Amino acid sequence: MLSEELAGIAAQYGLSPLPVEGGLFRRTWAGPEDATGRPAGSAIIVLLAVEAELFSAMHRLPIDEVWHFYRGDPIELLLLDPDGGSRVEVLGSTQHVQFTVPAGTWMGARVADGGRWALCGTTMAPGFVESDYEGGDADALSARYPDVADHIRALCRPGAPTRMSDDA
């Protein structure tokens, strides 16, 4: 059950639950599709909130993803680089308002400590298709990135599927 404030934001932007990854979202644009059905580009709006555990679970994509901050409280993006490095980037009105996550980087996002909610967006070119999504396993990622294991576990949903579609 969402608070009146979050329900109002969700209604204003026509948001619904984002399967597997989490948060509330709406696809706002998809470019023309190629012969394989992949759009030339895509964009979404996403609402993350402490309430109802609306966070973006650990996942990686084969295409760069550009995050945009619109309003609300700052969010933390946990990034796990393929070379074994990790870092946290903060998006917010006085931090990054736009940030690109490179293809192949494990990522997860949540509202930063002390915040309540954030409205963000992401853009990809070529566009997102469900088979792009690879969800993270908390045990495997924690073993590979032990310095941020607690952060990884906070951004995983035990028992959740790791794919959005069966055609991956």
Q: Which two tokens stand for residue 90?
A: 């903060």
Residues 6+ apart with CB under 8 A from 113: none
Res 69: pLDDT:
98
Q: Are 7 and 52 in contact (CB under 8 A)?
A: no
Tens of pLDDT along 73-117?
A: 999 999 999 999 999 999 999 999 999 999 999 999 999 999 999
Res 1: pLDDT:
80
- Pick the closest to residue 157 from 57, 50, 59, 23 (CA basis): 57
Res 3: pLDDT:
95
pLDDT along the chain (168 residues), means of 10: 95 96 97 96 98 97 98 98 97 97 98 98 97 96 98 94 72
- Distance separating alpha carbons of residues 124 and 102, to the nearest angstrom: 11
Stated pTM of the model: 0.95
146 SS3 class: helix
Domain range list for the chain: 4-154
- Distance separating alpha carbons of residues 152 and 138, to the nearest angstrom: 6
Res 168: pLDDT:
41
HEC profile of 26-84: EEEEECCECCCCCECCEEEEEEEECHHHECEEEEECCCCEEEEEEEECCEEEEEECCCC
**Does domain 4-154 bear CATH number 2.60.120.10?**
yes
